[in-house]
Amino acid sequence: MVKRFVLQWHLSETCNLKCLHCYQEKHKPIQLPYDKLVKIYKQYKELLKSLKMKGHINITGGEPLCNPYFFKILDLIKEDHDLITFSVLTNGTLITKEIAKKIKSYDPYYVQVSLEGGRKTNDYIRGKGTYKKIAEGIKNLRKQDIFTSLSFTATKLNYQEFPKVVKYARRYGVNNVWSDRYIPLGDSEDKDLALNLEQTREYLAIMNKERNKLKNIKNNHTTISMYRALQFQMTNDFAYGCTAGDTLLTVMENGDLVPCRRMPIVVGNLFDKNMLDLYKNNKILKELRKKKIPDDCLDCEHAEMCHGGLKCLTYALYKGLNHKDIGCDIH
């Protein structure tokens, strides 16, 4: 894929689930009218034009399939298919055969579905019966030959269950599994779910073990990607670098622009200020693009790429960015 400018678009907060770890719960459900959504889309196109870049939109929420304008937004993107690709980030529970077929007709880059562990743990976090419903959604997506990815959010409660998620992925023909750590934000903040240093090291080792196991299985069609923060420490692949504010921007359900959902610093609202102006001139975004290395990381050989690891987690924990990732054991 050519380097694209990514827009993470939280169409609305509305959701049919109420997951234990979710950062989307604090706000009141807001549903922008369609013409306001179109305004946001036009601003994004203007930004792409000015930067001479192609774009990719991750359509998310809340649950994007609860949004009445979901397919109308896909219609807009379809008109610009040479310029903008898209993916859908969904909880998978509303993906019927018909919905999967309809999504396929818009040619998504991939659809990402979330799962939090084995049946008991997943249903504890995502709600009773979701483990089974998610499988139905995945089967419907795979029947349409849509590239399907499983997302696993690692908390204290579930990080050891990553192997169960991989097993599930293989059983239902999921193409790729990826995982990142839980960020303490919103209502979930006081639930003490974030991994500490020891747990992070164990979680990364579990991921890598599963990845190596898959490499030795003949006719295996499921991969595990390990390109998120610190994961390179296990794989020796290239180090992840956070792109928030640089080639990633996020629009919230009310039009607020933030570098990333996981770094919820509002830099402006798109109905007061234009996305391109904010991108070019906002102090916080300009600062993020400098990719400053935290003091604790200055002597690290990976610092130029890693820049201190998972910036959003650091920001959530310390309310500042000049710190090393809590899960890194390099001194």
Ligand X SMILES: C[S@@+](CC[C@H](N)C(=O)[O-])C[C@H]1O[C@@H](n2cnc3c(N)ncnc32)[C@H](O)[C@@H]1O
Find the farthest-apart pair of alpha carbons in the chain and give their distance in angstroms, rounded.
55
327 binds ligand X (CB under 6 A): no
> Hey, what are 107's tokens?
């040619």
Q: Which does 316 bind (CB under 5 to 8 A by kind): ligand SF4, ligand X, none?
A: none
Strand partners of residue 55? 5, 84
Number of residues that bind ligand X (CB under 6 A): 18
- Report, in Å, the least distance between residue 48 CB and ligand X: 24
- Report, in Å, the least distance between residue 301 CB and ligand X: 28
C-alpha to C-alpha distance for 88 and 135, rounded to whole angstroms: 17
Q: Which does 306 bind (CB under 5 to 8 A by kind): ligand X, ligand SF4, none?
A: ligand SF4
Packing angle between helix 130-143 and helix 119-126, nearest 10 degrees? 100
Cβ proximity to ligand SF4, 208 vs 223, nearer residue: 208
By CB under 6 A, which span of 85-93, 97-105, 162-170, 212-220 interacts with ligand X?
85-93
Residue 93: CA count within 13 A, CB half-sphere: 21
Of residues 121-180, those binding ligand X (CB under 6 A)? 151, 153
Cβ proximity to ligand SF4, 161 vs 325, nearer residue: 325
Nearest Cα residue to 165 out of 96, 220, 114, 128: 114
> Hey, what are 149's tokens?
């990815």
Residue selected from 61, 137, 259, 264 as contacting ligand X according to rule CB under 6 A: 61
Name residue, tokens 């770890």. Answer: 21
By CB under 6 A, which span of 186-194, 203-211, 216-224, 303-311 interacts with ligand SF4?
303-311
- Report, in Å, the least distance between residue 264 CB and ligand X: 11
Query: Binding mask 67-96 vs ligand SF4 (x if CB under 6 A, - otherwise)?
Result: ------------------------x-----
C-alpha to C-alpha distance for 263 and 331, rounded to whole angstroms: 26
Q: DSSP states of 118-155 as a string? A: SHHHHHHHH-TTHHHHHHHHHHHHHHTT--EEEEEEE-
17 binds ligand SF4 (CB under 6 A): yes
Interface residue list for ligand X (CB under 6 A): 15, 21-24, 60-61, 63, 89-91, 114, 151, 153, 182-183, 185, 188
